[in-house]
Amino acid sequence: MIYTIVENLQKGRSLLVDISQEQYCDKSIPPYYSSIGGHMRHILDMFHCVFSGYQNGRVDLTKRERNINVETFPSYATAYLDSIVQHLLNLEESDLSRTIQVVDDLGNGCCTVDSTLGAILAQAQSHTIHHYATIGYMLHHLGVTLKDDSFGLNPTTPKVLKY
């Protein structure tokens, strides 16, 4: 599981190398007018919350960094991503069953649920794939083609549906 997540994050690292800062910051694509940088920052913030809290048994997803430099400069995002990957690589498979509490605001205030480190990392992985799909949509509308034609596609998507 850990290496699958790392492999997926490395797709984001390749993206950061393959696009310009102008493309990274572009907010011209409807309907949300967000930037690729904003999505990358949001993805990495979720992982950061996990690694900021899991050792004390409480992951608070409302405590995201929201560092404007990460969504503005690909080099900051690359360093942030590399630190997340290092945290992942430092985990043991046995860590994944560790019980934690997860705090989040689902729309009506904060709630706390019991979970495991593995479950929250699986959620972060799914969250990453979802945002990669949105980034893929944005790249298409910016006329950018990546070397990795699977970027933004869930690995479980049947190959017949992949373009």
Domain boundaries, the chain: 2-161
Question: What's the confidence (pLDDT) of residue 148?
Answer: 87
161, pLDDT greater than 70: no
Residue 31 has pLDDT above 70, yes or no: yes
Mean pLDDT of 53-75: 97
40, 82 contact by CB (below 8 A): no
Q: What are the backbone dihedrals phi and psi of residue 103, each rounded to the nearest 5 degrees, phi first? A: -110, 135
Nearby residues of 42 by Cβ (< 8 Å), 6 or more positions away:
64, 131
Hey, is 105 helix, strand or coil? Answer: strand
Contact 37, 72 (CB under 8 A): yes
Fold category of 2-161 in CATH:
Four Helix Bundle (Hemerythrin (Met), subunit A) (1.20.120)
Residue 158 has pLDDT above 70, yes or no: no
Query: Closest by alpha carbon to 41, among 80, 84, 87?
Result: 80
Mean pLDDT value across the chain: 95
State the pTM of this model.
0.93
Q: Work out the average pLDDT over 68-90.
A: 98
Give residue 154's pLDDT: 83
Helix (H, G, I), strand (E, B) or coil at 30: coil
Q: What is the radius of gyration, based on Cα positions, of the chain? A: 16
Helix axes 74-89, 2-18, angle to 10 degrees: 170
pLDDT of residue 5: 97
